[in-house]
Amino acid sequence: YVGLDIRVWECGKWRGQRRAAKRGSGRVRRALYLAAIHSLTRLDSAFAAYYRHLVGQGITKMSALMTLTRKLWTVAYRVLKSGSRYDATKVWVAHPAAADGDV
């Protein structure tokens, strides 16, 4: 709906860069991007914890930010569609065992 899916340009053996498809509303995309950046400033945010997890997994910071933006969109869409309340535990819950590498 807002163009946050990834599109790979390729032709035969040539593989281009992966980029956001940029379909849909640019204003919504920009608002979500700015909200994602702002969520990183809040240390108690589930979105910030999810971002730190992605970067810890070796994903580049920009890719992790775009993944976070898509996660914001998904959460906002589900809350609006279902009429339920926002629940941070459904966004990201870091498991202590996963952080230690025991899983």
Instruction: Report how far residue 40's alpha carbon sits from residue 55's, in angstroms, rounded to the nearest whole number.
Output: 12
Could you give the CA distance from residue 79 to residue 70 in angstroms, rounded to a whole number?
14
Across the chain, mean pLDDT equals 80
| Range 6-27 average pLDDT | 70
pLDDT for 102 equals 46
Residue 103: pLDDT band with limits 50, 70, 90: very low
- For residue 24, what is the DSSP state? S
pLDDT in tens, 49-59: 999 999 999 98
Residue 98 pLDDT > 60: no
Q: Which candidate, 43, 101, 76, places its Cα nearest to that of 52?
A: 43
CB 39 within 8 A of CB 47: yes
